[in-house]
Amino acid sequence: MGWEAVYLQQVINGLSLGAMYALLALGFTLVYGILELINFAHFNVFMVSSFIGMMALEFFGLSGQSHILTGLALAGVMAFAFVATMLVAGLLGVAIERFALRPLRGIPGTVGMITTIGISYILFNLVLLTKGAGSFNFPNPMPRVAWTIAGATLDLREVLIWGVALVLMTGLHLFVNKTRIGKAMRATAQDSEAARMMGVDVDRVIVMAFFLGSALAGAAALIFGLYYNYTSFIIGYTAGLRAFTAAVLGGIGSVTGAMVGGIIIGLIEALGGQLIAVRWTDVIIFSILVLVLVFAPTGLMGRANPTKS
């Protein structure tokens, strides 16, 4: 491998990571944009979703990497797995909002945020107790198809990750900007009181934000499992923290910002590991978080909102 090929390969790796972080970052940003709440339960909604995705694939009798599907069967199984995982993850997010956060709404301060940390631990320990602490071999029915481009390897899985992420992010963008409920979401984000006065059902908007954010975490979790063929009760923390950094980097509350931030963090992780050393990756990423918070607290795409302090 020449150095060009190595860097191209690291960019491919970084884009795959970035697509995952971006999907996960969108969940932070959607909820923050509307409630100004950092939802730490999102970390482990992602983790729980990876187990749901695994069950969805095992439902078809798939296990490990030895069952390979092609053509329509593959497309059908994948579509089912994505829809099922995203639906269950979305409902989990809605349940968290309904039972743990709605009763606390209107209470000022950090109560809501602390509650989400509590929920995060409950989910974490629930999976630990029911599934055990081992590493799980995540089924992957995709054939091992790869293309060589200028010495770098592009795997079918990577193409799928980019494709799914692109479709979901475009869909979200259109949803937020073109539909009625999307307009209501934007209105609530700007000023929930005024939106309520204009007849926007704020509760419905909040439920929608939790559903969409968690469903995207579900998609990210399934992608994570298919990419690494691995899951464990512990995966939420590192991925969640990086996605959160991506959301802050892009400007928390901004949908485009979360996508851009995710891709940037993914590329930094891959290229930083190549140029410096992998053990410095976290130092680099979290230094960026600190620098953004100090010098550009609104992030790359965020705007200081005049109606909020």
Partner 1 sequence: MLSRRTLIVQLPAFGLAGAYAVRAFAADKTVTIGINLPFTGADAHDAQLIKEGALLAIDDANAKGGPGGYKINVMLLDDGSATAGQYDPAQAATNARKMVADDSVVAAIGPQMSGSGKAMAPILSQGNLATITPSSTNPDITNPKFAGTYMPAGKAIYFRTVTTDAFQGPNMANYMADTLKIKSVYILDDSGAYGVGIATAYEEQAKKRGINVMGHDQLDPKEADYTTILTKIKSMNPDALYYGGVGQAGVKVVKQSFDIMPKMIRAGGDGVYGAEILKGAGFPAAEGLYATIAAPDLLANPDSESFIKAFAAKYGEQPENYSITAYDAALVIIDAIENVAKSGKPVDRNSVRDAIQASQAKTLQGTVSFDQNGDITSRVVSVFQITRDPKFPDDDVLHQYKYIGVAPTTS
Residue ranges that bind partner 1, judged by CB under 8 A: 1, 3, 5-6, 9-10, 13-14, 17, 64-66, 121, 124-125, 128-129, 132-137, 153, 155, 224, 228-230, 232-235, 237-239, 269-270, 273-274, 277-279, 281-282
For residue 153, give the 3-state DSSP assignment. Answer: strand
Closest CA to 290 of 245, 250, 255, 247: 245
CB of 216 to partner 1, least distance (A): 18
Parallel, antiparallel, or unpaired for β 136-137 and 230-231? antiparallel
Answer whether 122's CB lies under 8 Å from 47's CB.
no
Nearer to partner 1, 91 or 267 (CB): 267
CA 19, 225, 76, 95 torsion-angle sign = negative
Nearer Cβ to partner 1, position 8 or 209?
Answer: 8
Q: How far is the CB of 79 from partner 1 (least distance, A)?
A: 24
Identify any residues that bridge with 231 across adjacent strands, giving them in sequence order.
Answer: 136
Name the minimum Å distance from CB 18 to partner 1: 11
Residue 176 or residue 270: which is nearer to partner 1 going by CB?
270
Spatial separation of the C-alpha atoms in residues 115 and 221, rounded to whole Å: 23
DSSP string for 113-152: HHHHHHHHHHHHHHHHHHH-SS-EE----S---EEEETTE
Residue 231 phi, psi dihedral angles, 5° rounding = -150, 165
d(CA 242, CA 22): 10
Closest approach, Cβ 62 to partner 1, in A, equals: 12
Complex with partner 1: residue 162 or 228, whichever CB lies closer: 228
Q: Tell me the C-alpha distance between 307 and 261, whole Å.
A: 25
| C-alpha to C-alpha distance for 281 and 274, rounded to whole angstroms | 10
| Inter-CA distances, 217 with 24, 301, 302, Å | 5, 21, 22
The continuous run of DSSP H or E covering 34 comes out as helix 3-35
State which residue, 1 or 111, has the beta carbon closest to partner 1.
1
Q: Least distance from C-beta 131 to partner 1, angstroms?
A: 11
For partner 1, give the closer residue by CB, 75 or 129: 129
Backbone phi and psi for residue 136, each to the nearest 5 degrees, phi listed first: -105, 140
Which helix (H) or strand (E) covers residue 231, if one does? strand 230-231
Minimum distance between the CB of residue 3 and partner 1, rounded to whole angstroms? 8
Task: CB nearer to partner 1: give 64 or 76.
Answer: 64
Closest contact distance (angstroms) between CB of 100 and partner 1 is 18
Which C-beta is closer to partner 1: that of 24 or that of 185? 24
What is the nearest approach in angstroms of partner 1 to the Cβ of residue 234? 4
From CA 90, how far away is CA 48, in angstroms rounded? 11
